[in-house]
Amino acid sequence: MQVIIESYQRDRPRNFFECGRRPIDNWYKNNSKKCFDRVEYRVFEAIFPATGRVVGYYALQIGNESMAALPSKPADYTKNYTAFPAVHLAFLGVHRECQRKGVGTALLSDVFDKVYQISEIAGMYALTLQSYDEESTAFYSSLGFEPYSDSKASPKMLMPIRTIRALVEGE
């Protein structure tokens, strides 16, 4: 399914959006406008070109994570850090009717491109996310994300920026 990824537009209808995971649906329907306006998140939407309908979205934040959260500290330059800088993929949802049709892959590809661009102007260690359940954990693991928390059902996961840069530069 071909989609166009665009920056969040306040006037797009959102009440119909349903990915099947209530917290992800509710945040998009009820909180995305105010969080976007307050610049707490940058939100991007996957649009179906024929109708202009939103079929997916993601939201990014910048922050840091405690090195103590990592089960095994990397043996690289971060060994003396107390926290590592990261871009956090706070939300990603694909409308039920469009799941398993390439929309999630298109959204993540755009996430990687945006994170790469950020890494060109600001330092960071990784892209992080909080997996929602075992199914999403398996999906993110298949893409190369690694868990870094003890939770088996919904772990915090990361992909080092070096990996993302190599992926984007290799495209």
How high is the pLDDT of residue 71? Answer: 64
Q: Give the separation between CA 58 and CA 45, rounded to whole angstroms.
A: 7
Pairing verdict, β 156-160 and 53-66? unpaired
What's the confidence (pLDDT) of residue 150?
A: 77
pLDDT tens across 108-140, in order? 999 999 999 999 999 998 999 999 988 889 989
Please state, in angstroms and rounded to a whole number, the distance separating the CA atoms of residues 99 and 95.
6
Low-confidence ranges of the chain (pLDDT < 70): 71-78, 171
Q: What is the pTM of this model?
A: 0.91
CB atoms within 10 A of CB 152: 10
Q: Does domain 4-170 have CATH number 3.40.630.30?
A: yes
Q: What pLDDT was estimated at residue 83?
A: 87
**pLDDT for the residue 171:** 65
